[in-house]
Structure 1
């Protein structure tokens, strides 16, 4: 069934939710099997290692860039129509939000996407942390924290009423983004070979990046055939977590891509963990770890909303379309995470 037939059968907004569900399924399975996590990669890098976690993250990042830029060259999507590119970006939000999110994911022991995947495999710590993340994200979007977020985001914004397209700003050729992605993929494969990472894990890591491209292409196609305005978007978890929570609490909320994405990830990760025998319940090990995890989740909720995306939304999805603020947010997430690891985890290990 193609998208036009799907729209004619169930309508535009339910179709968006179905496409979100499909995208989420791919992401959930691939992320669970590859153990993709920005937090793990940054901690590994901060401690002077270029191991399997860095390789998996870099391969996901690069394959998303390759698939999305390849889709652009093939005419399957136009990145300038993406929601992230069509509105002004916030440089100050990328810096402050990225630093806060990075520190938060170290404290929570996982980025927002990783928490959702782990919660789907029976990790109750991640389930509780994910709920706190979603609540704070909603508070930052339209609740008591939204005025603070708005003030910080307004300190320094992009000009021209749109986000900055790095390809245009740097005068890259049309194939420049694809070439960059291929170079990063080569580096990722070199690191993976040195660490003797199995082919299956590499395939699943690439699958996480592929899911990002699937989301972009599907929503672009849907927007092209819909009568009402539809957002061109892809995988992210700050806004969708908040929107899904509100959808479950408010019957007046409408279906959209976000509402299908989160359940899709849950179903995909749950199925993968059950089929591989990795599903098992886990809880907090004490008051200290719980306090730290919930604080980190709250920081991620506010930081991700301020930065314009989480470790996936800005760090993979946004960078794949060469959105300027997404690249800056990703850089600041790395800095925030490495600083938190140095000041909290490494110092605690030295004391112990």
Structure 2
């Protein structure tokens, strides 16, 4: 790693790492149909099927690999933002609920929107832009004061208070068993081996993000943030860089977003699934736009999107991340149930 840093420098190496992790995530997320929204819909319908299995395999793979790496001394995430800095439990709860609601309205989370946009889905491109602009406004713009006020209601100090559990041999064994259980559940759903492998590689990409940035940070003379896959912040940074900068600043996040897009596009082209998809009568634009706004604000308030908080933060056992992803599930399930009940009621009345 020292030789690579000497030859290329930290920024180029981080950007290449982000691009490589993004390629793997984009390709495998597209092939496996990895999607938190789809998993929550199955649970809301009390049909625990293949979409839930895909999410569980991906989550368990990332969790097991990260925890085993920490336990074996090959990874240290104590300085990661999700653990070291002051966190917000009120933000995790409120932001998670808003994100879950938005996920249902937009028919996909931030990562799913990016993956599907690579196949020519214009609905996800428009929704993703709205999500990204709202996230930027929530971080530094007109919505920032509201986000800060909500986040300040219930905070938690960085360090051990933000750690859900200490990494111990028992925790490592439990994570490994969780992965085996998820794989067994996936096999019971008659998923193809390539889909199960792709789901596991989604989790592996999350681990790779943590491991690669840690390895660079460990030998660098510069301060390098240890991070993994997340989409709201990097998408906003990428958009603002394209708009405001003549030369793109190199970072892990700015390599991640185009990497995911390229990986998903490659699979869509190979499988012949790439095609233009527009808003139709049964896919009203207003629902997608409202979903994008709720996810953009919710993710910034919760400290990450369904992958940033749910997968990356969850894998390092960050307390606020687990609270956020739990509330995403609650918000999404509740919204789907209410929308289904509303449609059923209208059908009866008509």
TM-score, length-normalised on structure 1?
Answer: 0.94
Residue of structure 1 equivalent to 2:307: 312
1:184 counterpart = 2:182: no
1:204 counterpart = 2:202: no
Residue of structure 1 equivalent to 2:317: 322
Long gaps (5+) in structure 1? none
Q: Aligned match of 1:141 in 117, 139, 142?
A: 139
Distance 2:249 2:30 in 1: 29
- 1:243-282 to structure 2, matched below 5 A, reads 243-251=237-245, 254-282=249-277
1:44 counterpart = 2:42: yes
Q: Aligned match of 1:331 in 315, 323, 326?
A: 326
Long gaps (5+) in structure 2? none
Distance 1:40 1:224 in 2: 38
Distance 1:66 1:287 in 2: 40
Q: Aligned match of 1:156 in 154, 176, 179?
A: 154
Q: Is the 8 A contact 1:105 1:296 kept in 2?
A: yes
1:239 counterpart = 2:237: no
Deviation of residue 160 (structure 1)?
5.2
Q: Is the 8 A contact 2:53 2:182 kept in 1?
A: yes
Which stretch of the first structure deviates more once superposed, 87-96 or 77-86? Answer: 77-86
After superposition, the C-alpha distances for 1:68-91 in whole angstroms (9 at most, x for unaligned) are 112112322112122211101110
Runs (4 or more) in structure 1 with deviation over 4 Å come to 160-163
Deviation of residue 273 (structure 1)?
1.0
Distance 2:263 2:86 in 1: 34
Q: Is the 8 A contact 1:88 1:163 kept in 2?
A: no
Aligned length: 346
Instruction: Please provide the CA RMSD for this pair.
Output: 1.6
Deviation of residue 349 (structure 1)?
4.0
Deviation of residue 144 (structure 1)?
0.6
After superposition, the C-alpha distances for 1:20-58 in whole angstroms (9 at most, x for unaligned) are 111101100110010000000001101101000000000
Distance 1:105 1:98 in 2: 10
Q: Is the 8 A contact 2:30 2:115 kept in 1?
A: yes
After superposition, the C-alpha distances for 1:266-288 in whole angstroms (9 at most, x for unaligned) are 01000111111111111110396
Deviation of residue 163 (structure 1)?
5.5
After superposition, the C-alpha distances for 1:222-265 in whole angstroms (9 at most, x for unaligned) are 11121110100000111111111111111176221111100000
Distance 1:271 1:105 in 2: 25
After superposition, the C-alpha distances for 1:134-180 in whole angstroms (9 at most, x for unaligned) are 10011111111111111111111113567611123xxxx61233223
Distance 1:288 1:276 in 2: 24
Q: Aligned match of 1:122 in 120, 123, 142?
A: 120
1:195 counterpart = 2:189: yes
Go from structure 1 to structure 2 and tell me whether the alpha carbon gap of 1:52 and 1:8 turns closer, same or farther (over 3 Å shift): same
- 1:58-137 to structure 2, matched below 5 A, reads 58-137=56-135
Q: Is the 8 A contact 1:177 1:322 kept in 2?
A: no
Residue of structure 1 equivalent to 2:220: 226
Distance 1:41 1:86 in 2: 31
Residue of structure 2 equivalent to 1:298: 293
Distance 1:349 1:25 in 2: 41
Distance 2:268 2:174 in 1: 33
Distance 1:97 1:163 in 2: 20
Q: Is the 8 A contact 1:66 1:177 kept in 2?
A: no
